[in-house]
Amino acid sequence: MRRRAFLTAAVAGTAGALTAFGTAPALAHDRGDRRVLHVRPGDSVQAAVDAVDGPGWTIVVHPGTYREVVNIPAGTVDLTLRGATRDPRDAVIVYDHANGTQKPDGSGTYGTAGSATFTSAAPGLTVHGLTIANDWLRADHPEITGTQAVAAYITGDRSSFSRVRLLAHQDTLFADTTALTAFDRQYYRDCYIEGDVDFVFGRATAVFERCHFHTLDRDVTFKPEGMVFAPATARANPYGFLAVRSRVTSGAEDAAYKIARPWVPSYETTAWPSLVVRETELGPGIDAVAPYTNMREAYPWQSMRFREYRNTGPGAVISVPENRPQLTDAEAEVHTRETYLGDWSPCA
């Protein structure tokens, strides 16, 4: 199913697939020290963000499809953004920029980070019960070679997402940090994340607990079709990505995907990517024989901090042990949510 049609179908049953084109300010309620903004179809999520004038605000997004780019600046501290219903499919924030999309002012292209539908550099951000998507499609733009199209670009310490759907193709979730020397922490719980190439990537310390990763089927003749993770952890950071008690499913044929490949950016060649996948169900879409690959031969995955622990499913079968480095029981005691997040205990 084409991405834009899929998004419309996801909300049609409850929200009439309403779309926000306006920039009307959201309605605010100030109840003592609890400040709440409501965004409804016809309003703009970005207008609500712009109306926030201090820490601790909540923005409630009502059912509808909000076709806009949302940017939460670093000064918007401890903001909560949540859907108004129990179903994250009801409220959708979506746009369609890609890396290679030309900016309307003629100043060049958006680049990977600039392509994001949802960007936040705010510390203490909490997002719950929403869909965030980038519905740009390669097939619609064969002239564009920069095909990264980010749904969410997240930096800032203590960023927490629960029951959030993140939808795109290449580079869905850019889980990064505010600076090369920062070890910003992110937490994702009960989230659904789908894509094809490197669709969870970046240098953040990020914990994915009880998340569902889904690999899309690509119309290509080569293998692998893509990879789930592409961490770019700073060498000085002891903790990168941790996926725990999660699952990986696939819309592609068996063994078409890798778990990960290391990303060593040209602007940070000292990066030492770190990924631990533990107690996670790996479906048949993952290549069990060779679940990791290189992005560049100069940085082989075997030299990176890639480990697994007690995974299950057909994609977790260990037939070539040297291709599947495992944690010992003692090492596994360190690679936990509590260790990665330190003194921060996000609300589940």
Positions marked catalytic: 171, 198
Give the DSSP per-residue string, 55-108.
TT-EEEEPSEEEES-EEE-TTSTT-EEEESSS-TTSEEEEE---TTPBPTTSS-
First and final C-alpha spacing in the chain: 32
Before 325, cis peptide (omega within 30)? no
Q: How many Å apart are CA 198 and CA 215, to the nearest integer? A: 10
β-strand partners of 91: 64
Q: How many whole angstroms separate alpha carbon 212 and alpha carbon 198?
A: 15
For residue 20, the SS3 value is coil
CA distance 294 to 177: 23
Q: Which residues of 294-318 are buried (b: 16+ CB within 10 A; e: fewer)?
A: ebeeebebeebbbbbbebebebbbe
- For residues 90 and 14, the answer to whether their CB atoms sit within 8 Å is yes
Q: What gap in Å lies between CA 200 and CA 194, rounded to an integer?
A: 9
Let me know: does 260 contact 290? Beta carbons within 8 Å. no
- Report how far residue 208's alpha carbon sits from residue 194's, in angstroms, rounded to the nearest whole number: 14
CA distance 267 to 198: 18
